[in-house]
Amino acid sequence: MTGTFQLDGANIPFEPGQTVMQAALAAGRYIPHLCYHPEFKPHGSCKVCTVKVNGRTMASCTMPAEAGLKVESNIEELNGLRRTLVQMLFVEGNHFCPSCEASGNCQLQATAYALQVMTPHYNQFFPDRPLDASHPDILLDYNRCILCELCVRASSEVDGKNVFGLSGRGITKHLIVNAESGLLKDTGMALTDKAMQVCPVGVILKKGQGFSVPIGERRYDQRPVSAQALDDAPRPADASGSCAACEGSS
């Protein structure tokens, strides 16, 4: 059984169990987001994907799709709020894009471009955050963490290692390593772990191959974050069992 809802005036089909975000992406319609990942159950921590559903603000990644919903996303009111959230993420950490190894592969940076964020707008916090270079193969740069929790969930739900966690509340909330020493070398973290793959910024880095992909050839250099998100979205299978591809605008 399927139904449809309206997203910015367009009819969006959905399957039972899909959220507004999942149905929109599957139909080729991009809603900006940071903490959502198609391989994990949504939990709505970043709020960048906030939309208006029948006039009320909701996180589209956790809002169940229902027939007849009227959803607004690409409107200036919401894009303005998204810009504010992204600007606050930039000033809360130490994000120096020109010298960052993840530049061009960074979802925060690419989302900022998509939202036309041109300045940080707020005063920089310049927090004192450490680097953890204790592991022989992996570097942790806590300066770039945006608290999306994807590495926490990947390490727990996929890798079964519980390497990462979050500690503190409010402005003191931060990523930690679950070891008595607090160092990555004292965990079972490996380069093959799912947690290595899911960080949307540049916190978890493989040692020994910095800046190996030239500028202009990185993930978001060729195509914007909206196009990449649509590529990554799961698609329902058609009657022949193949993916029913949907075209989306970038």
User: Distance (Å, rounded) from C-alpha 17 to C-alpha 14?
Assistant: 8
Domains within the chain, CATH numbers bracketed: 3-74 (3.10.20.740), 81-222 (3.30.70.20)
Q: What angle, 0 to 180 degrees and rounded to 10, lies between the N-to-C axes of helices 107-114 and 76-92?
A: 140
What does the CA dihedral 54, 65, 57, 232 come to, rounded to 10 degrees?
A: -140
User: Distance (Å, rounded) from C-alpha 199 to C-alpha 145?
Assistant: 9
User: Distance (Å, rounded) from C-alpha 218 to C-alpha 102?
Assistant: 9
Which residues in 60-117 belong to E strands, given as ranges? 70-72
User: How do beta strands 70-72 and 50-53 pair?
Assistant: antiparallel
Residue type for position 3: G
**1 — pLDDT class (breaks 50, 70, 90):** low
Q: For 18-49, how does the pLDDT look when each residue is reduced to its tens digit (9 = 90+)?
A: 999 999 999 999 999 999 999 999 989 899 99
Whether pLDDT at 121 is above 70:
yes
pLDDT exceeding 70 applies to what percent of the chain? 94
Whether pLDDT at 241 is above 70:
no
Token pair belonging to 125: 């916090």
Give the number of other Cβ atoms within 10 Å of residue 70's Cβ.
Answer: 13
Please report where in the chains the tokens 């990942």 appear, as a residue: 37
Mean pLDDT, range 4-28, rounded to an integer: 96
Mean pLDDT, range 43-60, rounded to an integer: 95
| Residue 144: exposure state from Cβ atoms within 10 A (0-12, 13-18, ≥19) | buried
Give DSSP secondary structure letters for 109-165: HHHHHHTT--S--SPP------EE--SSSEEEEGGG-----HHHHIIIIISS---EE
Burial code (b: 16+ CB inside 10 Å, e: under 16) for 28-66 equals bbbbbbbbbbeebebebbbebbbbbbeeeebbbbbbebe
